[in-house]
Structure 1
Amino acid sequence: MCILVGLWFPLLANNSPWVDRFSMLIDQFKKDLKELSSTQIFRKHLLSSGCFALDDHQYFKLREEVSEFFSVEFNDTILVGSGRLGFSIKPTKRFVSFNDDSDLDLAIVSPKLFEKIWQDAFLYKRSAEFWPNSRIFFRYLAEGWIRPDKLPPSEYFKFSKEWWDFFNKITNGRQFGPYKIRAGLYYSHFFLQEYQTICIEQCMQEV
């Protein structure tokens, strides 16, 4: 079963009524790839449009819970990825439809929170504690975002535990469907847009 726009429907391989909807969404996106700039596509499909996987109330509640927990602005919590579009634009899953195995991917934009985690991570690294992903973490940090899965291990780093405990809790609550809820933390909207437009521009080259 799959939740689409807040309702339960069987997701069938060939005769699902949602197959046509997926095709329409992808066709419109491909049309826009030929007619709009990458910035316009980002604004239209990831900032202005509704969410494929959540109805308006669910999306409001999700953003509200996340923004309150992390003390960030409501408008700085944005659903991206296939949960927003209805399909993926990642290179390894290009135009694969949102399905039961998909995640709900959020972008949280907060320079204040970003700088706090950056400072804590720097001090942790300087302490020479166990951190196998430190090099990858700082590579993404230089690109303006924090990948939580590359943070120091949660048993040693307080924020890692707080982050994963929160997102596991709202995932297990299932009020937003049977999907894992995950997020990335961005320093600014500039870096969020730049990261998303990388995939958009790759799509442009393919159509």
Structure 2
Amino acid sequence: MRTIAISEENKNLLDEFKKVLDNKEMSDADIVDRYILFGTPFVFKNNEDKYYFLKREIANFFGTSTSNVIMVGSAKLGFSIAPQKLWKLLDDDSDIDMVIISEELFDDYWKQLFEFNINLTYRNEKEDELYRDFLEYFFKGWIRPDKFPFKFDNKRKWFEFFNKISYGEYDKRKITGAIYRNEYFFRKYHEQNIRRLRLGGK
């Protein structure tokens, strides 16, 4: 079990992060740069090479650059800043959340999903609910594969890939992925979240 060994360090990092939120000299964009876009992920703090190899494996699968692949979430920071898991410390059950920032990849999936939807004649109630959730994220420039329509073939291929690289050499954790269309949408999402935290979400 790793939880006991890392929980105190996580807590210290969390306390430091909360102080940064109160630092008026740091803008929302500065915090996104320093803590989310850059830096070695907490989960790989003792082995930076693993982060590179994980980025490379994902980049190779999607045919993009390693510079377009980054880690977010509690595996990156040591704690979560997502609204539904706010301040939850990284533990043995935490995933590694990876995102790909690429207009080319986003637009490719967009075209595939557009063609899929044109040819779709019927969605059951559960599929329709999933589709509405997908559109909500899509409007924000974010493709969530877990929100793909049920019968979309590339959903299966996506999860086959991430299942293959999960629970192995990368800290034996589940690995998930998502796509942002470009850095603008990525930054806007995270800057808005930081702003919310600074206005009392913490």
TM-score by structure 1 length? 0.87
- Please state if 1:161 is matched with 2:156: yes
Q: CA deviation at 1:119?
A: 1.1
Q: What is the aligned partner in structure 1 of residue 58 from structure 2?
A: 66
Q: What is the aligned partner in structure 1 of residue 8 from structure 2?
A: 20
Q: CA deviation at 1:48?
A: 2.3
Of the three residues 88, 102, 108, the one matched with 1:116 is: 108
Q: Distance in 2 between matches of 1:147 and 1:61?
A: 23
Of the three residues 57, 71, 79, the one matched with 1:87 is: 79
Of the three residues 41, 49, 67, the one matched with 1:75 is: 67
Of the three residues 94, 101, 112, the one matched with 1:102 is: 94
Q: Distance in 2 between matches of 1:160 and 1:124?
A: 12
Q: Distance in 1 between matches of 2:196 and 2:136?
A: 21
**AA paired with 2:186?**
L
- Please state if 1:144 is matched with 2:141: yes
- Please state if 1:33 is matched with 2:21: yes
Q: Give 5+ residue unaligned stretches, structure 1.
A: 3-10
Residues 126-135 or 54-63, more deviating = 126-135
Report percent identity of matched pairs.
32
Residues 74-83 or 91-100, more deviating = 91-100
Q: CA deviation at 1:168?
A: 0.3
Q: Distance in 1 between matches of 2:37 and 2:113?
A: 30
Q: Distance in 2 between matches of 1:44 and 1:25?
A: 13
- Please state if 1:48 is matched with 2:41: no
Cα RMSD for the two superposed structures:
1.5
Q: Distance in 2 between matches of 1:182 and 1:74?
A: 16
Q: Distance in 2 between matches of 1:113 and 1:47?
A: 19
Q: What is the aligned partner in structure 2 of residue 8 from structure 1?
A: none
Q: Distance in 2 between matches of 1:175 and 1:183?
A: 17
**AA paired with 1:144?**
G
Q: Distance in 2 between matches of 1:59 and 1:148?
A: 22
- Please state if 1:177 is matched with 2:174: no
Q: Distance in 2 between matches of 1:50 and 1:73?
A: 18
Contact 2:11 2:89 in 1 (8 A): no
Q: CA deviation at 1:39?
A: 0.4
Q: Distance in 1 between matches of 2:115 and 2:77?
A: 38
Q: Distance in 2 between matches of 1:145 and 1:171?
A: 22
Cα deviations by residue, 1:91-111 (Å, 9 ceiling, x for unpaired) = 222111101111100110111
Q: Distance in 2 between matches of 1:21 and 1:86?
A: 8
Give the number of aligned pairs.
192
Of the three residues 132, 135, 144, the one matched with 1:135 is: 132
Cα deviations by residue, 1:21-73 (Å, 9 ceiling, x for unpaired) = 12221121111111111100000001222110123011001000000110111
Cα deviations by residue, 1:88-137 (Å, 9 ceiling, x for unpaired) = 00122211110111110011011111111111111111112544322221
3-state SS in 2 of match to 1:166: helix
Q: Give 5+ residue unaligned stretches, structure 2.
A: none
Q: CA deviation at 1:147?
A: 0.5
3-state SS in 2 of match to 1:106: strand
3-state SS in 2 of match to 1:53: helix
Contact 1:100 1:178 in 2 (8 A): no
Q: CA deviation at 1:198?
A: 2.3
